Every structure is written in structure tokens, then in C-alpha cells.
Amino acid sequence: MTSEFLHLPKIELHLHLDCSLSFDVVRKIKPDTDWETYRRDYVAPSKCTDLADYISRAVSAISLMQTREHLRWVTLDLMEQLREDGAIYAEVRFAPLLHTQQGLAPAEVVQTVEAALAEGMAQTGVEARLILCTLRNFSEAQSMETVRLTEQFAGTLVVGFDIAADEAGFPIDNHISAFAYAREKGIHVTAHAGEAKGPESVWETLQHFHPARIGHGVRSAEDEALLAFLKSEDIHLELCPTSNVQTNVVATIEDHPAEKIWRNGVSMSINTDGRALSDVTLTQEYDTMRRVFGWQKERLLQCNLEALRHAFIPEEVKARLRARLLEGWGGFQE
């Protein structure tokens, strides 16, 4: 049975390009890939050991994304996935330095993905932007190189800077200067935190990186003072429920604290994280939130409106997308 959420307009803020390769695009790049191999190499199991285990499952996909042609195919494929899922706006993130194994310069990588995103927008009607990621395991020099790429591509579809990967395995020290540079240059910032580590990770990320949004941030629910701070400072949490179960942040979906975060008045949205790695769509995430927590259309609309309010795009673009959201969802708000 088709979900009633499928054709409703949606906003997605937390979406990794290299974790979202469909079977079709993998087979296009690597024609001998069968379904069993795809499921083994490009889709994470429903329960990984931890975040590091989950992230390791992206290695196969990254290895396929090393030429201009393949980067273009993967980007166009993701845009089509978004169209099929009813998305009207998405912020797609990736780490350019991971795609230089066959000789592309980092700037060439960004230029290629940015051009493909523009092409995909024209083909699908889905509005989209790019966020460039540094990684926890990167050096200070690599983080600085990534944030300078974000600055270099200002005025294009590149709109923000992020830090991703295993927060439990690597401290923040190498990245403080890059985020200070972003703040100095007025670059929009989000940051992964409160996923593999507890609320202390969110606190230090807020203190040193000053992001407007937190990627995941799910373990903020363990600290009432942190929830109050997030609300007072209007810090948006990009929640990814299915991914949080896979990475063992929570044992089961029933244990997910999305309801507590909502009740505490923290701005939040529902996202997929990696559409292939987590084997999920926004439509399926919404169905899960309704089935498990009883969330109805009014609340999910509000999550979309909050996502849009915290998107890294100009107000005139937000106004146009907001009108589409309200029209599509029936115009009601909580």
C-alpha cells in the first residue's frame, strides 16, 4: 500500500551523498554488481556494532566516486531518488577530499558535484544545495583545506560546512581553527555531534564550533540543561531515527528520544542520513514516526517547516518553498 506521505512535499537537511548510491547507479558504474553484492557492499545491516562500523560500509561507494563521470552519475541518481520521495529541497553533504584517489583535485571534485546538482535540479524540479564536510580523522590542514573550498565556492550551490565521521574515536582539536575560519568568513555551519558520544560531545561542539545546527544530536536528550540551551539558542537538531538504531545509539526505534526532544521544544527535523546505507526514504521515516510514536501530519509538517527555517538558503527561496509545503500538506500548522 502506498504511504500517504509519499507525494507530500518534504525537506531533507541531513543527507550524505556517498551513503546514498542506489542499485541502479552502482550497476551503471560497475555492471557486474548483482543484487546480493549490492546489499552486502553498499547497504549497512540493520544493526551495526557502532558508528565506526556503520561508516566503514561507505568505503565501497566512495571507491566508485573517483571520476567526474561517476560523481555526476551518483549526484543525478540521488536527485532522482529525492524526486521520487517527494522532496522539494535537500542539502546534500560530502567530503571532497575523499574523492581524489584517481587524480582529481578537490576543487575539481566540488565543481563536478555542484554542476551535476544544478543539472539534477533542472531535470527533477527538486531544489538542492551542497555542504562540504571535513572528517574527525582529518588533520588540521585537511580541515582548513575543506573550509577554504567552501569559501572558494561561495555564491554557487555550496552553502555550508560540516564535520562528520567518528566523534568517539577522534577529538575536536584538529578542527577548531577551521570552524573559527568559517565563523570569521560568515560560512553557514552544521556539525555532527551527540551520536557516537553523549551530551558532552554536543556541549563541546557548541562551545568550539558554534554551529547553527547539530547533525543528529540525539543524545542531547540525556541532559535536560542541554535541551533547554538548544531551545533557548534555537539550535536545530537534524535527527535520523533509522540510522540511530543501526549505529547502536539507541537499541530499538521504540527507544529513540525524538518524542522527548520534541516535547522539550527543541527545533528538529527527520532525515535519512544515508538513503542506501540505512536503506530508507523520508516517506518510510515518516511512516515509522507515525507507527511507533503516533506522530500525525501536523507534527511532521512542523518538522518540515523547522527544517526549512534553518536551511542555508536565502529568505526568498525559503518563502517559495514554504508556500509549497503549506499547500501540499493542507495548510495546517500546530
Query: Which residues carry out catalysis?
Result: 195
The set of cell numbers assigned to 103 is: 587524480
Helix (H, G, I), strand (E, B) or coil at 74: helix
Helix (H, G, I), strand (E, B) or coil at 130: strand
Helix (H, G, I), strand (E, B) or coil at 327: helix
Q: At what angle do helices 106-124 and 140-152 cross, to 10 degrees?
A: 50
- In the chain, count H helices and then E strands: 15, 8
Query: What does the DSSP assignment read for 73-92?
Result: HHHHHHHHHHHHTTEEEEEE
Residues 6+ apart with CB under 8 A from 225: none
Phi, psi for residue 128 in degrees, rounded to 5: -155, 155
